[in-house]
Chain A
Amino acid sequence: MTSLRQRLIPYWLLGPGLLWLLFFFVIPMYFMFELSLKTGSLETGYQLTWNWSNYADSISEYSTQFGRAFYYAGAATVFSLLIGYPLAYAIAIKGGRWKNLMLFAVIAPFFTTYLIRTIAWKTILDDSSIVVDALKFLHIVPEDGRVLATSGAVIAGLTYNFLPFMVLPLYASLERLDLRLVEASKDLYANSRATFFKVTLPLTAPGIVAGTLLCFIPAAGDYVNSTFLGGTKQAMIGNVIQSKYLVINDYPVAAALSFTLLVLIMLLLMAYIKFAGTESLMGEEDEVK
């Protein structure tokens, strides 16, 4: 029999932190939801009128920006996976004594400010840069074209900024990969392609799931890349929410858009978890040792 005092210990430990999350994460979501159903303006104040049309109106008005956000984030996630998987594979399996240095290079971008890194891309893709000259020379970009203020620039920026979030979980699952299974597959006369698709890829699926989520979710809400690397035609839903809240002060519509984004992401997350299981998200172990 454990005493009541002992049974309360975990709650004392959890209490302060979870209350912080309750007051400053969960309850604010409720306030945002309530705000989204109000009518009024900054001058007259806001009344709760259960104005559901805030949702219908704002979603139909900004469906382009929603679609663009999901398209850009999806493209960036696919590119991150295509670039990140070989990179994580090289680090985990072929890295040898370079492993730590390569891992360090993957997290190095975190040591410079996110905004400055994105602005560095603005420098790289600037109309007068060598990169753009090279792309023009190769006729990838037309002679009078530009790279900045295009969808490509925004997707490249998103891919760059969220690539480490893809590589790290992929690395973690490739590092745990039992290479004997790969050998066994080869002993049983599978060629390297079959071995990859039937052994390596399924065994590293948890890393792929975690990586895609960690890449897609922040990318879908991002407005930094589209602000710096895109033009008005590249505005994502994050840009609309930001300007409605902070520039135009149209709070109910801003809250409706933000809440819609949250719901869409949560639906996506739930579908993904159902498909892949929770463990893959943060490698949680439900048993206490």
Chain B
Amino acid sequence: MKAWTWLKDHAVNIIAGLALFYMLAPIAVIAVFSFNDPVGRFNFEWVGFTLDAWKNPFGITELTDALITSIQLAAISSIGSTILGTLIAIALVRYNFFGRRAANFLIVIPLATPEVVIGASLLSMFLVYGAKLGFGTLVIAHIMFSISFVVIVVRSRLIGFDRSLEEAAADLGANAITTFRKITLPLLAPAVGAALMLSFALSIDDFVISNFNSGATVTFPLYIFGANQRGIPVEVNVIATMLFAVTVIAMAAVIIQQRRAEKMAEKRADDAGTTGMSMPI
């Protein structure tokens, strides 16, 4: 009976634990199988431990080329979509204008459209115009599907934004551009950085829309899809594990940096309080 009450009290936590296990298990499998020594071309069955793939993960030219293409594509499209999306977010939060609802609608609707439809419609247009499919069409598509995400991330930051600092700058004689550069942009930087990272991640991970609009260009996900029939090399697992580790380390660094900055700001505010200054300089 006691066990039953315990189980009832902890049911939510137990389900949560199992759910987290469900979400993390495949990542562990990917990492473990990067050390596998498969017989034949398929890496589905555990055979034995080897470091072979880790010694030379970039040894497969096709795979490395695909990875480089993906990184270039993600760099270009994330910068493009972050600029376009940030400007939209500023307009939506800061200004009342005719057509606001329509603009909002146009931003939400791509998020509610299945990727296969977005990919198919873009391909339909490119077919009609006889556009050459390749890196260029991929850039167009990736900027398109990232914009909405950028708007959401930057907008949520702008909504909780302290306008008094900008007003103070204007009172002190700064013009609109100086105010934007010296006050708004630095305060917005964390959100813009997050949006940049998110759109980079979305781009490097995109398969469906790229599948439709890539032509002969091969990105990392497209390489994996193509390699599936003939067997995916262990090196793919190695690169996936490395990408995962790099992202986790980068995120941890950002969080630690932010905590430190917050602590410094707190400390400065305390110091200012004791010396009777009203604003930290």
Instruction: Tell me whether B112 and A221 are in contact (CB under 8 A).
Output: no
Q: Which residues in A have their C-beta under 8 angstroms from that of B106?
A: 18, 21-22, 25-26
Chain B, residues 152-194, CB within 8 Å of chain A (1/0): the string is: 1000100100010000000000000000000000000000000
Q: Is the interface of B mostly helix, strand, loop or mixed?
A: helix
**Interface residue A177 (Cβ < 8 Å from any Cβ of B):** no
**Interface residue B40 (Cβ < 8 Å from any Cβ of A):** no
Output the nearest chain B residue to A89 by Cβ-Cβ distance: B12
Chain B, residues 217-250, CB within 8 Å of chain A (1/0): the string is: 0001100110010001000110010011001100
**Interface residue B124 (Cβ < 8 Å from any Cβ of A):** yes
Q: What CA separation (Å) do A241 and B208 show in the bound complex?
A: 11
B278 to chain A, nearest CB (A): 24
**Interface residue A113 (Cβ < 8 Å from any Cβ of B):** yes
Q: Which residues in B have their C-beta under 8 angstroms from that of A142?
A: none
Instruction: Tell me whether A87 and B96 are in contact (CB under 8 A).
Output: no
Instruction: Tell me whether B16 and A160 are in contact (CB under 8 A).
Output: no
Assuming A10-B95, A14-B91, is B122 touching A24 (CB within 8 A)? Answer: yes
**Interface residue B118 (Cβ < 8 Å from any Cβ of A):** yes
Which of B29, B85, B115, B152 touches A218 (beta carbons < 8 Å)?
B115
- Looking at A51-59, A60-68, A114-122, A183-191, the stretch in contact with chain B turns out to be A114-122
Output the nearest chain B residue to A90 by Cβ-Cβ distance: B16
A37 to chain B, nearest CB (A): 12
Q: Which residues in A have their C-beta under 8 angstroms from that of B195?
A: none
**Interface residue B205 (Cβ < 8 Å from any Cβ of A):** yes
Which of B96, B201, B240 touches A116 (beta carbons < 8 Å)?
B240
Instruction: Tell me whether B27 and A112 are in contact (CB under 8 A).
Output: yes
Q: Which residues in A have their C-beta under 8 angstroms from that of B19?
A: 83-84, 86-87, 163
**Interface residue A275 (Cβ < 8 Å from any Cβ of B):** no
**Interface residue A155 (Cβ < 8 Å from any Cβ of B):** no
**Interface residue A208 (Cβ < 8 Å from any Cβ of B):** no
Chain A, residues 17-39, CB within 8 Å of chain B (1/0): the string is: 11011101111110110110000
Q: What CA separation (Å) do A28 and B30 show in the bound complex?
A: 37
**Interface residue B3 (Cβ < 8 Å from any Cβ of A):** no
Q: How many residues of B contact A (CB 8 A)?
A: 88
Q: What CA separation (Å) do A285 and B89 show in the bound complex?
A: 12
Q: How many residues of A contact B (CB 8 A)?
A: 88
Instruction: Tell me whether B23 and A163 are in contact (CB under 8 A).
Output: yes
Instruction: Tell me whether B220 and A20 are in contact (CB under 8 A).
Output: no
Q: What CA separation (Å) do A43 and B67 show in the bound complex?
A: 35
Q: Which residues in B have their C-beta under 8 angstroms from that of A22?
A: 106
**Interface residue B120 (Cβ < 8 Å from any Cβ of A):** yes
**Interface residue A202 (Cβ < 8 Å from any Cβ of B):** no
Q: What CA separation (Å) do A174 and B24 show in the bound complex?
A: 23
Q: Which residues in A have their C-beta under 8 angstroms from that of B225?
A: 115
Instruction: Tell me whether B121 and A29 are in contact (CB under 8 A).
Output: yes
**Interface residue A4 (Cβ < 8 Å from any Cβ of B):** no
Q: What CA separation (Å) do A79 and B64 show in the bound complex?
A: 38
Which of B90, B101, B244 touches A111 (beta carbons < 8 Å)?
B244
Instruction: Tell me whether B44 and A122 are in contact (CB under 8 A).
Output: yes
Instruction: Tell me whether B207 and A255 are in contact (CB under 8 A).
Output: no
Instruction: Tell me whether A32 and B121 are in contact (CB under 8 A).
Output: yes
Which of B33, B125, B236, B243 touches A31 (beta carbons < 8 Å)?
B125
Instruction: Tell me whether A113 and B27 are in contact (CB under 8 A).
Output: no
**Interface residue A78 (Cβ < 8 Å from any Cβ of B):** no
Identify 23 residue pairs between A and B in the complex whose beta-carbon atoms are under 8 Å apart, listed by A's number. A14-B88, A14-B103, A20-B84, A25-B109, A31-B124, A32-B121, A109-B24, A111-B201, A111-B247, A113-B221, A116-B224, A117-B26, A123-B43, A160-B23, A164-B23, A218-B115, A238-B114, A242-B212, A251-B124, A265-B114, A282-B108, A286-B101, A288-B95
Q: Besides A108-B248, A223-B116, 11 other CB < 8 A contacts? A: A24-B144, A32-B120, A86-B16, A90-B13, A114-B205, A123-B29, A124-B26, A221-B116, A222-B115, A228-B228, A284-B108
| Interface residues, chain B, with chain A CB atoms under 8 Å away | 11-13, 15-16, 19-20, 22-27, 29-30, 33, 43-45, 83-85, 87-88, 90-97, 100-101, 103-104, 106-118, 120-125, 127-128, 140-141, 143-144, 147, 151-152, 156, 159, 163, 201, 204-205, 207-208, 211-212, 220-221, 224-225, 228, 232, 236-237, 240, 243-244, 247-248, 251
